[in-house]
A = this chain, B = another copy of it.
Amino acid sequence: MSDPLYSGPEPTKLTIHQTDSPKDLLPPDQLKFGRSFTDHILCATWDANKGWSAPSIEPYKALSLDPAAAVFHYAFCCFEGMKAYKDSKGNMRLFRPEKNIRRLNTSAVRIALPAFDEDKVLKLLAEFTKTESRWIPEGRGFALYLRPTMIGTEPDLSVSRPQSALLYIIGSPVGNYFGSSGMKAISLEACSSPVRAWPGGVGDKKVGGNYAPTIVAQESAGTRGFQQVLWLLGDPQVPEQQYMTEVGTMNLFVAWINPETQTKELVTAPLDGTILPGITRDSILDLAQERLVPQGWHVAERRVYMTELKKASQEGRLLEVFGAGTALIVNPIRSISWNGEVIDCGLKEGQEVGEITITMKTWIEDIQYGEVEHSWR
């Protein structure tokens, strides 16, 4: 981006104001996702006339915004979620951060927030992570969750491009989601209405507006004993037309035996604009190409219809189903309730995770925690 308005924020102008009152670290077993935050916040403001301001790292603080600020009214907000890890030598590692920063830029531009220089924001992200390095917990499953966020701040109630914005980064130390008990398979409720995203919508962007409308359906599934919602697309009245998109806030993978070729297949929904292009998703696809295909697997990005999934389960061809995302890497799925039936997803009784699911988790964590050298770290 050569336009000087979008050429920042400039890391060489970064000022760091360390807090005078650093917080105590929480014991690792008390870390809850996204509830406690580190000592600092990184901020850079943007103005339609002046472009990006000099960024700063400051003591964590409340944001002060006019009640007419665009973000409060028209959801001018987008974000990223990523993690910083400590390897066995105590070195700080990020996992494919350039992918997150690129996606943030894409999300911002889609909702008329300003673009930025990705290399510069990557440098700022590294500086912030360095400043907060004492907050990165040690051990597998532990990490510092980083939340780059951009919001429109202009106090103007006209529905138009915000003339000012704020990019900020906060961090939250996160623990081992499953605790010491290991992984736990979840049950899903398939949902064809409400609908999470739509062709021509913003389902492929990490914008705030995708999230608030999902809570009620999620809670409703919870009251019936389901841990997550499987979001479908296709006419709610026509089960044969319904296909899988995402699960909760994760991408979805299915491992099954292709009925025609009798080969093992790992399939996931294609990036057709209704699916978040997950970085864990992308990593799994790459690792599958690299390590499963030589073992005879086929890997495909294509629509999976619920009728296909049901048939595979009935015929004993459904091997494993799992969600994939930054928070858990993978989340094994035991069953899916759909159209008045329960589709068994291939786990044996008492089995909480399938072979491909746990293998993927191990492969990715080995890279994240630096056990294996890889270009992604």
Contacts and interface: CB of A to CB of B under 8 A. Distances in A.
Interface stretch (A135-143, A210-218, A279-287, A368-376): A210-218
A168 B73 CA distance: 12
Interface in A146-189: 147, 149, 151-152, 155-161, 168, 170, 172
Given A111-B215, A198-B195, A200-B236, A67 B62 contact: yes
Given A33-B157, A159-B214, A192-B200, A208 B75 contact: yes
Contacts of A209: 75, 207-210, 212-213
Nearest to A200: B195
Contacts of A109: 216
A68 B152 CA distance: 15
Interface residues of A, number: 69
Given A193-B200, A195-B199, A201-B198, A207 B65 contact: no
Interface stretch (A34-42, A98-106, A288-296): A34-42
Given A200-B193, A201-B213, A213-B111, A67 B149 contact: yes
Nearest to A209: B209
Contact of A207 (B75, B76, B195): B75
A33 B201 contact: no
A63 interface: yes
B212 A157 contact: no
A155 B198 CA distance: 29
Interface in A27-76: 32-35, 37, 41, 60-76
Nearest to A202: B213
A207 B199 contact: no
A72 B73 contact: no
A96 interface: no
Contacts of A268: none
A300 interface: no
Given A111-B215, A157-B34, A199 B193 contact: yes
Contacts of A77: 71-73, 75, 212
A216 B157 contact: no
22 contacts: A34-B158, A35-B157, A35-B158, A62-B66, A63-B69, A63-B72, A68-B170, A70-B212, A71-B77, A72-B77, A72-B151, A73-B149, A75-B209, A77-B212, A110-B216, A111-B212, A159-B248, A161-B219, A194-B201, A194-B202, A202-B213, A207-B213
Closest 8 CB pairs of A and B: A209-B209, A34-B157, A75-B208, A195-B200, A74-B211, A112-B215, A198-B198, A75-B75
